[in-house]
Amino acid sequence: MRAWAVLLVLCGAIFLEGIDVAMLNVALPAIRADLGLPTGTLSGVVSAYVLGYGGFLLLGGRAADLLGRRRMFLLWLVVFLAFSGLGGLATEGWMLLAARFATGVAAAFLAPAGLALLTDHFPEGPRRNRALGLYAGTAAGGFSLGLVAGGLLTAIGWRWVFFAPVIVSALLLVAAVPLLRADEPRPRRESFDLAGAATVTAAMLLLVHGVVRLEHGLTGATLAVFAVAVVLLALFVRIERRAARPLVRLAILRSPALVRTNLAALLFLASFAGFQFMMTLYLQELRGWSALQTGLAMLVIGIDTVLAPTLTPWLVNRFGTGRVVFGGVASAAAAYALFLPLAPDRTYTAMLPGLLLLGLAFSLAYGPLTMAATDGVAVPEQGLAGGLLYTSIQFGTALGISGVTALSTAGGMEGIRAGLMLPAVAALVALGVTAGGLRRTPAPRPGDGVPSARPSASR
């Protein structure tokens, strides 16, 4: 009974993460109107979170293993609570950006600690599988409900989008302290690869900043930003080669299947993040829809909450992960193609097929991508493989938002159409990447399962 109570708390934490990001996406136009933020800063409100998340995710997983999972979970839940509240008090764009980045860092430490606690409390077998299914489904439900909750809270005032997670975090904290059992003592402390974490995070920040700067043209300053990012990435590689306990063991990247999976995940999430950002601006700023109407309109994408745990496992067992991922990416490419001729007066009925295809795309692609990312990886490196996948997902999300921002500088309907080109192109490239692995897809194994949740920071 105690284990299931712990699961309830952990599900609450992953639900909080999903609903937090989804609510913010719906509230973006209201935040822009109140604080007078330019489009670049507005996209940065989302990008700052996913960069903090993606940049520190690998370090967060290592911290949970070395410093204690309960300790990390409780500490970073407090940090998440504090900076979410500070975001609600922001009066300037830079304050909001700093708060969101810090909240993303907190999530990067909180999420792997929560997942590790789940496996600690549920031994391997049917009980753990059931617990993981509930955990993943809760993450998916967080996004779907977050769209509607964001619309309701924004109608009261956009600051409640930040204050509501504070209340939920406080309740989870009160429940978690007595429920989570104490960490086992660590025999010795190991060093962190802080230099690796710092260089790769700085490189990611500069790469996205460079993409956003492209809206002003390919200037010397923009080229300099990209050059510094490349230097930092080279430095990161050098640090990892020499580190006694590297953040990323570079030899793992010699696996073509792993690289292909991570690249596909990056492109898949970049396309959706860019699409969602453009559609939020289109529906609210061009069409005059309310935040609640926008949330309800996008809610149909949440069909993956039902399809992912029911249809997808059967398809994976029948056809294998590679073919199912390919079908999901193909559905996404078709959906974005349907939105390319978007007009100011397009009816919701006309948009519905594309939105349904997107829901199908997430149902088919995300869970099998998670499976493919760890398939064939040695047990001691399963965590590293998962960390690489989620880093790719968060980085792809940030790049997608920054990319559409750079393309939509014309504003109005012309800018929206230009921005929507990036999701379509990114999905097509992802389709080519996944097609390259179809011949190498291993035969499905009886009893294989697949995680069902999608990534909350991106959606």
Position 263: which residue type? Answer: L
Side-chain-side CA neighbours of residue 380 (13 Å): 3
Distance of CA 69 to the CA centre of its chain: 22
Written as tens digits, the pLDDT of the chain (459 aa) is 788 888 899 889 988 887 888 788 888 888 988 988 887 777 778 778 877 887 788 778 777 877 888 899 999 999 999 999 999 999 998 999 999 999 999 998 988 888 778 777 877 656 765 676 567 667 766 766 777 888 889 889 999 999 999 999 999 999 999 888 777 766 555 667 888 888 888 887 788 778 767 766 678 988 999 999 999 999 999 998 888 878 778 888 888 888 999 999 999 999 998 998 899 889 988 999 988 888 888 888 888 778 877 788 788 878 888 899 999 999 999 999 999 999 999 999 999 999 999 989 988 888 788 777 767 666 556 667 777 887 888 788 878 888 898 888 888 899 999 999 999 999 999 999 999 877 554 444 444 444 444 444 444
Q: Which residue has the tokens 């997608």?
A: 400
H helix and E strand count, the chain: 16, 0
| Residues present in the chain in total | 459
Tokens standing for 112?
Answer: 């792997």
Buried/exposed code over 228-252 (b: 16+ C-beta within 10 A; e: otherwise):
bbeebbebbbebbeebeebbbeeee
Position 235: which residue type? Answer: L
pTM: 0.80
Cβ-based neighbour number of residue 69 at 10 Å: 23
Print the SS3 string covering 330-373.
HHHHHHHHHHCCCCCCCCHHHHHHHHHHHHHHHHHHHHHHHHHH
Q: By C-alpha distance, which of 84, 456, 147, 139 is closest to 279?
A: 147
- The whole-angstrom separation of Cα 29 and Cα 155 is 12
**Across the chain, which distance is largest between two alpha carbons, in Å?**
65
Tokens standing for 228?
Answer: 């510094």
**Domains of the chain, CATH where assigned:** 1-183 (1.20.1250.20), 194-246 (no CATH), 255-459 (1.20.1250.20)
